[in-house]
Amino acid sequence: MNKKLSKRLTACLNALSSHSTIADIGTDHAYLPCHGIANGFIDSAIAIDVIDGPLVQAKKMITDYGLLHKIEIRKGSGLKPLKIGEVEGINIAGMGGKLISQLLLSSLPIAKSIKTLALQPQGGEAILRKMLFENDFAITNEQLLEENGIIYTIITATPKQSLKLKYSELDIKFGSILRQNVKDEFFIKKWHQEIDAIDEILTKIPKGNTRQNEFQQKKQLIKDVLSGVVN
């Protein structure tokens, strides 16, 4: 059995492929660890979820792959079921950026012991970037990809002990690495979608309302970044 992995999970797995042991947080059906081991990307994994239903599905998937000796299933919230030194990499995909931030902060010593974090936030990217910067995690790569009409952001981060990282508000909002290529088709599409969303909001705000100016400024900033006026 070798189920095809989605583009977004493949990107997360690729970010972790230099490590032998990983943890998949919010594993759901355990697609990523199963595919990773079956295809030689990783050697072993710990599959973690906080809900019984996904864990039952994960065990079935792991059994179907014949990998019960390679993947351990644990129930718990975020990184809490892990011990320092058990894994080299961690994957957290399909959660909001705020929730991912909370999970990492609630187990910060464990998060700081990990060599690589592969993070795929469902919105709230700026919240996640800010948390990473403020807690001395370096963002080593960011990637945008499109799947089923949705643009996903894949953030790869690593802890940098006692390193004062320099970052700007633009780095937080747009991603310092992603801003290096403002002509990327997915970058352009993502932020034009945001402009469209702002335009929709503006139609519902009465003229003269102070929020009109606030959203107009947000819209102009996006245009300036896309045009290269701000970098």
Architecture of domain 7-173: 3-Layer(aba) Sandwich (3.40)
- Is residue 21's pLDDT more than 90? yes
Lookup: tokens for 38: 């079956």
Q: What is the pLDDT of residues 65-110, one digit of tens each?
A: 999 999 999 999 999 999 999 999 999 999 999 999 999 999 999 9
Domain residue spans of the chain: 7-173, 185-227
Q: What is the pLDDT of residues 165-179, one digit of tens each?
A: 788 999 999 999 999
Cα-based distances in Å from 30 to 9, 120, 172, 183: 11, 16, 31, 35
**pLDDT confidence of residue 85:** 93
Percent of the chain with pLDDT over 70: 97
State how beta strands 116-121 and 137-147 pair. Answer: unpaired
Query: Which of 104, 91, 112 is closest to 41 using CA atoms?
Result: 91
Of 13, 36, 35, 18, nearest in space to 91 by CA: 13
Is 231's pLDDT higher than 90? no
CA distances from 63 to 1, 7, 33, 46 (A): 10, 24, 12, 14
Q: How does the average pLDDT of the chain come out, rounded?
A: 94
